[in-house]
Each structure stands twice: as structure tokens, then as C-alpha cells.
Amino acid sequence: MPAWLTWLLVGVVVWAVLSIPVTLYLGRLLRLVGRADRVAAPEPELAAEPHPIVVSGSPAVARRGRPPAQRRILIVDDDAGLRMLLRATLAADEFEVEEAESAQRASDLARFWRPSVVLLDVRMPGIDGLSFCAELKRKPVFGAPAVVLLTGTELSGEQAERAGADALLRKPFSPLELVGVLDRVSGADGVAVEFEPGGEAHEQLLLYARDLGRLLEIERVQRRVVQDAYRETVTALANALEAKDIGTGLHSLRVRDYAVQLTTAIDASLLGDPSLEYGYLLHDVGKIAVPNAVLEKPAPLTPDEVEIVRQHTVIGAEILADVTFLHGEGLKVIRSHHERWDGTGYPDRLIGREIPLGARIFAVADALDAMTGHRPYRKPATWEAATHEIAEQAGRQFDPDVVAAFSRENDTLRRLYDYTGKAA
């Protein structure tokens, strides 16, 4: 190796060895200088935003964009009773609530918990609400929450606005008004409700008692709307299934009516579970996975084809397992409506009372309609022949008690068939 090359290699090695500690030293020095600059620099002030003030009953507040899925509400009031009342009002999945009896305690909470809205009483011992509101708005460490001032004194909107408040509620206030203001200042879409301000004689508890009935009424109306929409959707799906299973006509609707009539006669309390009727309607939803060639086959099915058809109960239950409205008796009907009293049914070979009652009732209704309805592989049986066959299968295919109820309700069920069966 030439001498010059040897010296070059030695120089490179020496440079590499020396550069490592020098680099580390310079890096540490630069970090220390940067840290000193940050400590010396003053905390930046947030630019103040003009927020319109909502005085009790006034219309709207500037929206701040969509709120998080669960809004964090911090209640600050020295009145323990009012804090408890507010917490009860906001005890819902969309609110996460914390409370403090003073501005000092609220300051510690707000620094780390970062509420999206602060409900702040104006008159408190120590730091008053107006001063603490200004502090919440001025210091970035609090995360710039929306502030709703609560007051029972003659506080003007201009005073609240100067403190940076987003809304002002005068005591006593309605719980509906409170929730409406929270929705507006946090940008949520709330339910529109009318609020009539009470006179001086109205106390906070009286307002809450009055609006409790109104809230329940709103909830009932909304629940009925959702249930009606759900029923229409389920019916549309059942009709779509009928279109796939050619020849069954109005089977799902008719067998639902039979099953509801039998359920009323056997144990009407079962119908308190809304999923049951949906299960009656969607009992054959698993046939979506069965090929049309099998469903429409005019000849007897092969053993393999029978096994394919039998899978529709399991497939249907799996398809609808995550549908909340079907949790309960409805899902049991979908899975177990082809079980037999003697244990030879499918898919789980349940015996006797192991089979859910709704499924035992539906098995009779389903068999009745299968026998009296049109099928690609046979003509319909007469009503009398179907009735006789169901009676013969008591204690074998069907629950004897359900068959006895079927016999008692025979005339009513026949009228249902005359109304819908012949039109199919």
C-alpha cells in the first residue's frame, strides 16, 4: 500500500473519532440555548374573538364547528344543589361532566381536563365569575372553552361580552333552554323547542319539573318516529325477500299477522319486546344466501340442497346480529323457527321448552302459511287440511300449548287468511 494512502486512512479514522464527541457537545449546547430562549420569551396572548351574547331567550350564537362526540362540560358554582341539578340534566352519553365549587378548583381542572364548555356562576366567593371568564378566555392553557355565565343578578349583556362570555343565562332557567344554549355555543344540532320565560315567582325546581314532562313528550315523539321508520324499512326488506323467493306472495306479512295473533293469545307480554315482530317479518332473511335455482326448484331437493336451505336460519341470525332493534326475541325467532318440539329440527336440535317461546309460536304460523300458500313444487292445501295436520303434529313438530291456542284462534286466523291469503 502506498504511504500516502496509509496516511489518508489514518486521517479519516482520527477525524471520525474526534467528530462524535464534538457533535454531541454542540447539539447539547444548542438545546440549552433554545430552552433559555423559550423561558425568556413571554407567553403569547390569544387574539380576542368577538362572541355574540345569548341573553335568556335570545336567538342564536356563533357556531364554533362540529363538537366532539362527547362534549366536556365543567360546572362551576358554589351552590351544591344547583350543581347536582345541572349534572342530572346533562347526564347523557353526549356529555361528560365535571364540577367545581370555586374558580380556584375549576382552574386546576380546566388546565388538564380541557372542557369544551364551562357553565360559570357569576357570584362566587373568591374569584368571581366575570374575572374567571376573562382568565379562561385569555390564557391558552385552558384551551379556549366556550363560557356560559349563570346569574341571578342584574348583569347586562355588555358586561358579559366584555368578559368574553359566549352566552348568558339568567336564573331561574329552563333545562331545555340550558341544553339549547349548550348546543348553540358548541355547534351541535339540537332539537328545536319553544321556551317561555317564567316570571319571578317561578323557582328553579319548578321549571325543571315543568320541563321534565316536555322532555319526556319530545322523547316519546322521537321514539315513535324512529320506530315507524324502522318498521317501514324492515317491511321493505321483507318485500324484497318475497321478490327473490318467487311464489311465496305476501308470506312474510301474512305469517307475521298469524304469529302476532297467536302471541296475543298465548302471552301478550312478549309483544312488549319490539324485536319480536321484526323477527317475525325477517325470519327468512338468510335466504338471501340461497341460490334462486334451489328456491325455485319444482322437484324435490337433493340432500346437499336441503343442507343449503337449512343454513338460512344461521345466516339470517348472523346478518342481523349487530342490529340493535332485533336484539332479544326477534333474533331468537330468526335462528330457531325451524326447531321441532321433539328435537329433530335445525340448526341446534333444541328440545321442547329449550326452544324460545317466540320461535315455537312462529313455527306454527309459518307451517300454516307454508301449507296453505303456493309453492313451486306443489299446490296449496285447504285451510281444513292444514289445520288437521298442525293438530296431528302437536307434541312432535309443535308445542302442544301453542297448538291448543291455534285451535282456539282458528276462526280469527282464518279471517286473516281470507283477507290476505287469497290475494297472494
Please list the active-site residues.
Answer: 287
Residue 237: is it exposed, middle or buried by C-beta count within 10 angstroms (0-12/13-18/19+)? middle
- DSSP-derived letter for residue 378 is B
* Count, residues in the chain: 424
Cell representation of residue 130: 366575570
* Residue-by-residue DSSP string for 54-118: --TT-------SPPPSSEEEEEE-S-HHHHHHHHHHT-STTEEEEEESSHHHHHHHHHHH--SEE
CB 397 within 8 A of CB 362: no
Helix (H) or strand (E) holding 253: helix 251-267
Cell representation of residue 201: 315567582
Scanning 187-250, the segments in alpha helix (DSSP H) are 204-244
CB 140 within 8 A of CB 46: yes
* Residue-by-residue DSSP string for 349-370: ---GGGS-HHHHHHHHHHHHHH
